[in-house]
Amino acid sequence: MMESQKFTEGEFYQERFDPGAYNDMLYSGLQGHSDEQNFITFILQRLSKTFSGGKYRGRTLIDVGSGPTIHSVISASKYFDEFVLSDYTDRNRKEIEKWLKAEEGCFNWKPVIQYVCELEGRSPSEVESELRQRVKRVLKCDVRLENPFHPLNLEPADCVITSLCLEGACKDTETYSRALRSLRALLRPDGALVMVGVLGETFYTVAGQKFSCLSLTQSNIEDLLKNLGFTVQEFNVFQPQDKDITLSDSEGVFHLIALKSVN
């Protein structure tokens, strides 16, 4: 992993992260970037299985570190009344807001929504409408803070999602553990934490710009969650075969579901 003092934290993202290039690279086609094989479809399929049965539902879902994307909440759109999306950088939040308002030049999420709807037997137009109606706020967040939404204090949510965020925001295991603790505080007792992330990755690139990443193992993550009072319900891993390392050095992508203890 890169030395801590060189780790590309939030301020670096504010200056250098290109949301348009990121979305084009990963979400313009269902297979994602050729270097990453079909990890995007893995993520969409796992999120669909998580939510489509209606087991996890409620009033509020918070997506922490949405980036410039909406993919994490497509399958959940039917089962929660209100969504809060969030990110550290101004440009990423603006990208989400452009889509919510259907502004000219917003990213085309129709192929991704269509794919999810084919999995679930739903209408793409209805899902788009649900999302645009139910996303109530797009907030600035910083997962390095005890309260990521400071100075706002959000009501405890029924579900918290974070996708492809914490590893890029946390320079060391201590910071990562604190971030998980802050996510726990956002949940009601017995609420569900749904995470998507990468394993064994130290860097990834967007439009030629390299961003650092905290290298983690499955056991690292499970131990941290257990120590914080979570019960891991599922831990699924996708490992691309014959992977080039020009885009990242990831060893795999994971999806997990963990429940917050009632104590």
Residues 204 and 222 sit within 8 Å (Cβ to Cβ): no
Was 87 annotated as part of a binding site? yes
Alpha-carbon gap, residue 173 to 171, rounded angstroms: 7
Was 32 annotated as part of a binding site? no
Was 121 annotated as part of a binding site? no
Residues 16 and 91 sit within 8 Å (Cβ to Cβ): no
Alpha-carbon gap, residue 27 to 8, rounded angstroms: 23
Was 22 annotated as part of a binding site? yes
203-206 and 135-140 strand pairing = unpaired
Q: Which residues contact 123 (CB under 8 A, 6 or more apart)?
A: 117
Q: Which residues contact 75 (CB under 8 A, 6 or more apart)?
A: 44, 47, 48, 50, 51, 52, 116, 120
Beta bridge partners of 218: none
Was 248 annotated as part of a binding site? no
What angle do the packed helices 173-185 and 218-227 form, to 10 degrees? 50
Residues 170 and 88 sit within 8 Å (Cβ to Cβ): no
Residues 8 and 155 sit within 8 Å (Cβ to Cβ): no
Was 196 annotated as part of a binding site? no
Which residues are known binding-site members for S-adenosyl-L-methionine? Answer: 22, 27, 65-66, 87, 92, 142-143
Q: Which residues are annotated as a binding site?
A: 22, 27, 65-66, 87, 92, 142-143
